[in-house]
Amino acid sequence: MSTLKERIVELRKKNKLSQEQLAKKFGVGRSTVAMWETGDRTPDADTIQKLADFFDTSTDYLLGRTDVSYSAEQFQSTRKGFGRDHGSKATKKYLDLQICNTLKGLPESVCKELQSPLLLYKVLQLRNEVPVTISESYIPNSLPLKDLKKILEGVKQNPTLSLYKNLESMGRKPINCEETIIIDKPSIEEKKLLQMPDDVPVARIVRKTFDASSHLVEYCLLTSRTDLYNFTYRFTL
């Protein structure tokens, strides 16, 4: 595992900061940051915590005690959507986008819920460039699939593109959803895509999203890392 000095260099460069810029943010001289990075000086406990907060990571990661760069509480989800949960930290990597004119070969649960044609939109969701979830969305033919497909192709150039905002622009604003969660072992492909450590399960989430008229606007299969994500729900009893 890396040491504190190596982590500071890594995180500073990842955030595209010079030693002088980082020093200015912490009210110290550039030479102080330089000594942190050579190991000639060690930040005190308070500064280490401030560095962890600034870089949006855990002190354990900063100190080289773990290679998992986020603490669990930083991955709590309001379940409002990945972009809404993580804001500017959220990006996507394109995996697949196609109009399916037949249900052949699609997951059984999708075949039970939807009719062809439908739009498949599959992306890898990342938080600060760390893979978190595989999102496999199926859009029903009650929406203009060809128009939506053309718009969603933009995720290749704009990894912050929002599916929900585009559904809203088409007059089908997502209002509420229901979810089912099952804990399971990842497949070899899922483990590779999510860059998962050994012996970590995934959360398989089936999400049905509805508009104000209670019409289904998205049927989504989510596969999330359980070592990085805590799911928080609130409801009325």
- What is the pTM for the complete model shown? 0.70
Give the span between the Cα atoms of 45 and 22, in whole angstroms.
18
User: What's the pLDDT at 234?
Assistant: 64
Helix, strand, coil shares, percent, the chain, to 5: 35, 25, 40
For 1-40, write each residue's pLDDT tens digit: 679 999 999 999 988 999 999 999 999 999 999 999 999 9
> What is the reported pLDDT for 73?
43
Q: Domains plus CATH for the chain?
A: 4-62 (1.10.260.40), 72-231 (3.40.1410.10)
CB 165 within 8 A of CB 195: no
Average pLDDT of the chain is 89
Render pLDDT for 186-237 as a digit per residue (tens, 0 to 9).
Answer: 999 999 999 988 888 999 999 999 999 999 999 999 999 988 877 766 655 6
Residue 81 confidence (pLDDT): 74
Residue of 193, 182, 96, 181 lying closest to 139 (CA atoms): 96
